[in-house]
């Protein structure tokens, strides 16, 4: 029997992924690609909804592709491609925009969050219609399952609404997707500010472990993580966010449940604990970093691989686009 179709993507909007992306996205996707027909995209059309430098964008797309592969996405099994290489994304987004209510789009909280600082007047229309492009991504591939963090859940709900509306108005065309929301322990927090999500846009670099940091730097960041003064190594998100975050990180690195780690560290101090966490993270990430650098040393090969996968993706996407256009009376 065919595996269920799965779709997810990340923006090439930083020079490297961080530990939160690794645990919250790559590790999950790596597992899911085994028993799903998976498509993973590098959503560069989403990345240009905020100002970008062309050369930097090009580099960031390659780096993200290399990090996907180094982190375990198998480009022969899953389809790993760049969104802008497949023209159908922008085309379907236009069609879907015509059935999206202005009020409906205005209720998307991410747009409100992203414009909270600079104001909506300064934001691009592309940033406003971003969720419609995301809906096009998902619907083009008839994805049944969309693994995302909870901040993207509203966009997947919008995708479902648009697909249902389209099908009702124009006849059965799209598969209705379901979000698959990240488990609590897979959400990683800032090492210096453990109540805040680890995020590429944080001000303090010491709180973020970048996958391209060298091993010594990674170990140092973890050993300097903010904890608390109570001294007990146990998970308690409310009163011990720093220790809980380190336990979640160690659990993700080793596959050991948090409860077993608590038992293992019973009576130990934070120094020993942090050293073990640092060692485990370095053991996991050092080979990923090395493989990434190797892949980046041969950009022509990386580009060839992305082009081949874009052809695979376009075959699926073009067929869906033709179906949607036909249903709407455009072809
Ligand atoms: P972003 O870096 O916000 O573009 O997110 C890219 C992917 O990484 C999404 O699937 C997020 O859910 C995931 N992600 C981002 N930050 C974290 C974090 N701190 N912990 C776990 N997953 C994260
Ligand atoms: N908007 C998503 C994010 O910022 C990235 C994304 C774009 C995506 N298209 C998608 C995720 C389709 C899942 C499915 O994380």
Q: What is the full DSSP assignment across 61-88?
A: HHHHHHHHHHTT--TTTSEEEEGGGSTH
pLDDT of residue 185: 79
Residue 317 has pLDDT above 80, yes or no: yes
200 is catalytic: yes
**Under a CB-based contact definition with an 8 Å cutoff, are residues 95 and 328 in contact?**
yes
Residue 89 has pLDDT above 90, yes or no: yes
| Helices 270-296 and 54-70, axial angle in degrees (round to 10) | 110
Q: pLDDT band at residue 1, thresholds of 50, 70 and 90?
A: low
217 is catalytic: no
User: What is the rounded distance in angstroms from the CA atom of residue 54 to the CA atom of residue 32?
Assistant: 33
pLDDT of residue 184: 81
Identify any residues that bridge with 146 across adjacent strands, giving them in sequence order.
179
pLDDT tens readout for residues 171-184 = 999 999 999 998 88
First-residue to last-residue Cα distance in the chain: 33
**Under a CB-based contact definition with an 8 Å cutoff, are residues 319 and 289 in contact?**
no
CA 196 – ligand 1 centroid, Å: 12
Out of 200, 206, 217, 237, the active site residue is: 200
Residues in contact with ligand 1 by the CB-under-6-Å rule are 10-11, 20-21, 23-25, 148-149, 182, 186-188, 197-198, 200
pLDDT of residue 37: 98
Closest CA to 19 of 179, 225, 180: 225
User: What is the rounded distance in angstroms from the CA atom of residue 192 to the CA atom of residue 4?
Assistant: 39
Look at ligand 2, atom 14, and give the residue with the nearest C-alpha. 8
197 is catalytic: yes
**Under a CB-based contact definition with an 8 Å cutoff, are residues 177 and 148 in contact?**
no
What is the share, in percent, of the chain residues with pLDDT greater than 90?
95
Find the ligand nearest to 155 CA: 2
Residue 202 has pLDDT above 80, yes or no: yes
Identify any residues that bridge with 197 across adjacent strands, giving them in sequence order.
189
**Which of 5, 46, 108, 153 for mutating ligand 2's site (highest number of atoms within 8 Å of CB)?**
46
Two tokens at 268? 């130990």
Average pLDDT of 41-69?
97
Look at ligand 2, atom 3, and give the residue with the nearest C-alpha. 10
Look at ligand 2, atom 13, and give the residue with the nearest C-alpha. 8
pLDDT of residue 112: 92
| CA distance to 138, 218, 299, per residue, from 221 (Å) | 37, 5, 30
pLDDT tens readout for residues 93-139 = 999 999 999 999 999 999 999 999 889 999 999 999 999 999 999 99
Residue 295 has pLDDT above 90, yes or no: yes
Q: What is the pTM of this model?
A: 0.96
Q: pLDDT band at residue 76, thresholds of 50, 70 and 90?
A: very high
Average pLDDT of 67-83?
97
CA 168 – ligand 1 centroid, Å: 34
Two tokens at 107? 């209720």
Average pLDDT of 284-296?
98
User: What is the rounded distance in angstroms from the CA atom of residue 78 to the CA atom of residue 234?
Assistant: 38
Q: Is 118 helix (H, G, I), strand (E, B) or coil?
A: coil
């Amino acid at each position: 029997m065919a595996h269920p179709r799965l779709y997810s993507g990340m923006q090439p909007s930083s020079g490297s992924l961080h530990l939160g992306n690794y645990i919250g996205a790559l590790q999950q996707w790596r597992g899911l690609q085994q028993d799903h027909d998976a498509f993973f995209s590098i959503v560069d059309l989403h990345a240009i909804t905020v100002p970008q430098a062309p050369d930097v964008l090009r580099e960031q797309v390659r780096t993200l592709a290399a990090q996907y592969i180094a982190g375990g996405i198998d480009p022969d099994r899953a389809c790993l491609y760049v969104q802008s290489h497949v023209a159908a994304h922008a085309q379907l987004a236009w069609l879907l925009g015509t059935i999206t209510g202005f009020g409906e789009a205005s209720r998307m909280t991410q747009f409100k969050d992203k414009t909270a600082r600079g104001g909506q007047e300064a934001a691009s229309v592309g940033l406003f219609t971003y969720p419609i492009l995301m809906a096009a991504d998902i619907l083009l591939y008839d994805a049944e399952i969309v693994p995302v963090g909870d901040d993207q859940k509203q966009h997947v709900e919008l995708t479902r609404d648009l697909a249902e509306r389209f099908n009702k108005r124009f006849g059965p065309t799209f598969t209705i997707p379901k979000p698959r929301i990240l488990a609590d322990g897979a959400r990683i927090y800032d090492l210096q500010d453990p109540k805040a999500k680890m995020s590429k846009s944080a001000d303090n670099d010491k709180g973020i472990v970048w996958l391209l940091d060298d091993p010594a730097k990674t170990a140092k960041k973890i050993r300097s993580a903010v904890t608390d003064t109570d001294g007990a190594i146990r998970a308690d998100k409310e009163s011990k966010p720093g220790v809980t975050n380190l336990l979640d990180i160690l659990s993700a690195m080793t596959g050991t449940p948090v409860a077993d780690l608590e038992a293992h560290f019973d009576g130990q101090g934070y120094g020993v604990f942090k050293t073990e966490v640092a060692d485990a993270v370095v053991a996991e990430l050092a080979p990923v970093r090395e493989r990434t650098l190797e892949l980046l040393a041969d950009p022509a090969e990386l580009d060839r691989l992305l082009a081949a996968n874009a052809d695979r993706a376009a075959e699926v996407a073009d067929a869906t686009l033709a179906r949607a256009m036909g249903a709407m009376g455009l072809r």
